[in-house]
Structure 1
């Protein structure tokens, strides 16, 4: 009984001593690393002429809301500007085109409606041919191109909102602190729920500096 108890005491002392030695080595390595980093900062030449470019998320958001693509330029993501311009250009083109067709068929529909329900009106179609269309046929085309135009307005609004969200999220990601100065320490641990039967283990410590 005494021999097993003494063996446990010796083992515990060796275990604690190894942990202390490990901590001392880690502390010494960390101290040397700090000294070396401080020395490197002192010896590093400072360029006072070049200021660090700082991105402010709310500035990027406001600029994108004012002028689509301006926030992407502010975030220095120049490759996104042609995408934003293309999305806006395509939707604006469809808005103008569908609105012109809507206005043209609406004028013809009003003319046919004022004549009679069965009267036909000559309308130049998109292929250049002239067709006789009734008021009901013209009404269908008016409704179609009005929906197309309004849908293009809605898509343009979505693109505008996506442009703002993209500028805001990108600015936040660029200002998020992703430091590599993270250390992981492995230390021995000892818990004794029962004095006569201690439990040995290991403890992991993840430190963010």
Structure 2
């Protein structure tokens, strides 16, 4: 009888070890498969990508954003540049109007503002619209430069690995042999 119990317990122990080995083997296969899939998705570091994106944006605003895949930023870049150009043209038109009126008044001719605006007022209006034209140019150039910087920075940031394997996370491990739960903290770094 004692021999029978020993053999029965021994068989059960071997069966548990075999099932643990099978589970570990399956986990190893899953981890290998996951690593292979990840390797397929991995893009190597491209040191020239930020320079290409900046160069493309310098050639044609928004082209660097298209190179990076941020198509939603292209209308923002064109809206900013278009707004600056629009206000430059509007201020240039007003400046020319007051400049022509000022020249006509100095030449002794009648102008469209003769009863409403003094000569000093025409000079101040020219100065105001000249200043607004210069600000419009600065805004347009600022948006153009921001477009280039955005493309460059985004190309740099797109190459960072933000995979979940680079994180701390708590782990609960159930030990099937002892029936206890082990607590721990894992740090996974895959190179």
Query: Same fold, TM exceeding 0.5?
Result: yes
Asked if residue 208 in structure 1 is aligned to residue 185 in structure 2, the reply is no
Asked if residue 138 in structure 1 is aligned to residue 122 in structure 2, the reply is yes
TM-score, structure 2 as length reference: 0.63
TM-score, structure 1 as length reference: 0.58
SS for the counterpart of 1:84 is helix
Residues 36-185 of structure 1: pairs in structure 2 closer than 5 A: 36-39=30-33, 56-115=49-108, 121-123=110-112, 131=115, 133-182=117-166
CA offset digits 1:74-131 (Å, max 9, x no partner): 111111111111111111111111112112211221232344xxxx84226xxxxx75
SS for the counterpart of 1:98 is helix
Identify unmatched segments of 5+ residues in structure 2.
Answer: 1-23, 172-183
Does the C-alpha gap of structure 1 residues 169 and 32 become closer, same or farther in structure 2, counting only changes over 3 Å?
farther
The structure that is helix-richer by fraction is 2
What count of residue pairs does the alignment treat as equivalent? 151
**Aligned 8 A contact 1:184 1:207 in 2:** no
Identify unmatched segments of 5+ residues in structure 1.
Answer: 1-28, 125-129, 187-202
- Aligned CA RMSD, in angstroms, stands at 3.5
Does the C-alpha gap of structure 1 residues 41 and 108 become closer, same or farther in structure 2, counting only changes over 3 Å?
same
- Mapped to 2, the partners of 1:181 and 1:33 lie a distance apart of 17
The structure that is strand-richer by fraction is 1
